Amino acid sequence: MQDSYNDAIVETIKANPIRLKPMDQISIVVNSRDPQIATMFNLIYASQRLGASTSMNGGLSNGNQMLLPYTVDKDGEIDFPVLGKVKVAGLTRAETAEHIKNLLIASNQIKDPVVTVDFMNLGFSVLGEVSRPGRYRIDRDAFTILDAISLAGDLTINGQRENVTLIRNYGTAQEIFYKMNLTDSEDIFSSPAYYLEQGDIVYVTPNPKRRRESTVSANSAFTPSFWISLASTATSITSAILVIVRTSK
């Protein structure tokens, strides 16, 4: 953001909270004044009964209990206890919780439900010239490109801040590429890729120096090591010629 100055005001794109897609996994916990009724709506197993202290099948461990995920199927639905198939694709975390709460009340199964929804397998990847490339978990509704770079330890000295790419798939056979210039604050905050979605890939392009160093034949004519190697070879050849000449005399 090299173009910014003190007290600068920059318009930002409207916050885009994470919306559920097929194959996403979420946890759903229902609480009530009557815990026995609420229990039948929760996919929770006692870890002691299973003989394990860690999560299984992507579950989250919580003390002596393990919370198992609901997986959104290809039709955008989850199979919820008692209620059956519930459409959640396209909904935010808060909208999903409110939708299930209303369904529970309408079914007369529970009068005072408190529904909590959390993401379980939603994540993104950061590749290229960052300190810690890898896959990271999305743990909140509005997650930005700056949050992603921060988790990856910021760009290295060889990363091109003017050339950061975000690759996104909207559930089709095509990938969409968004280019961003991190030195331009308006370009960052107005980009449709400012807020990340699950499955996004952030790629930080290396500078020319770094690209040359990463090639199989890094000692090209553009590097000092090439000229040092060439001078060393020339010196060796000259010495060999002198030895041959002296021997022949």
Q: What CATH number labels 25-119?
A: 3.30.1950.10
How many Cα atoms within 13 Å fall on the side-chain side of residue 109? 22
Euclidean distance between CA atoms 241 and 190, whole angstroms: 67
Euclidean distance between CA atoms 169 and 4, whole angstroms: 32
What are the structure tokens assigned to 82, written together? 């008692």
The model's confidence at residue 100, banded by pLDDT at 50, 70 and 90, is very high
Q: What is the pLDDT of residues 9-58, one digit of tens each?
A: 666 778 888 999 999 999 999 988 887 788 888 876 544 444 434 343 44
Query: In which residue are the tokens 């002596």 written?
Result: 64
Euclidean distance between CA atoms 114 and 220, whole angstroms: 65
Euclidean distance between CA atoms 121 and 27, whole angstroms: 10
Q: Considering only 6-10, 31-35, 110-114, which range has the smallest mean pLDDT?
A: 6-10
Q: What is the pLDDT of residues 50-96, one digit of tens each?
A: 443 434 344 444 445 677 889 999 999 999 988 899 999 999 999 99
Amino acid of residue 19: R
Angle made by CA atoms 211, 213, 217, in degrees to the nearest 5: 105
Q: Does residue 137 register a pLDDT over 60?
A: yes
Domain residue limits, the chain: 25-119, 123-211, 225-249
Q: What are phi and psi of 206, to 5 degrees?
A: -75, 155
- More confident position, 140 or 201: 201
> What class does CATH assign to 123-211?
alpha beta
**Per-residue confidence (pLDDT) for residue 139, from 0 to 100:** 83
